[in-house]
Amino acid sequence: MSFLLAGCGASDDPQAAFEAGDYERAHELWLPRAEAGDAEAQNALGTMHYLGLGSGRDYRKAQRWFEQAARQGHPGAQRNLGMLYSDGRGVERDYIEAYSWFYAADKQGNASADAYIKSLASKLTPNQQMKARRMADRYILNPTADYLPELKPPELESGTKDMRATDNNANQDPG
């Protein structure tokens, strides 16, 4: 009697292994993908290290994987990295850095990032918030339809002089 063993081996799907609770297998399958630059796998490994699934909890390793994925524009990893900076887990607490990552995630459609932005707003000055948004712009790779980078100077407040008109008048011949 012979047995057909094809298909009886372990799955090569890390998400299936993760969902089945086989975290060691999921880690084993995601690791080569993450090392090859797969942002989804990097975020998954970061999550596993953050939660201590398949290995002990390690915020430094979580930060390493989240940052690699976040720099590639992965909105979930951007939000996750923002959480580490906001809480000071595995990294020194840095509200500007946290705000920057939350902002990038929000502008790419991460549903929970906006709440984190709002919670940090009271901890930062308007200038710090502006700095954080500028830092984030390079990582907003797939903006949602409601986000368009500012391409023109902000409108002047009422009651202020339009310096462009003044400059144009200064260049005219008075005579």
Distance CA 175, CA 41 (A): 71
More confident position, 28 or 174: 28
- Burial class for 22, CB neighbours closer than 10 Å (0-12, 13-18, 19+): middle
Give the per-residue pLDDT at 55. Answer: 79
Mean confidence (pLDDT) of the chain: 82
pLDDT tens digits, one per residue of 66-110: 999 999 999 999 999 999 999 999 999 999 999 999 999 999 999
All structural domains of the chain: 14-143 (1.25.40.10)
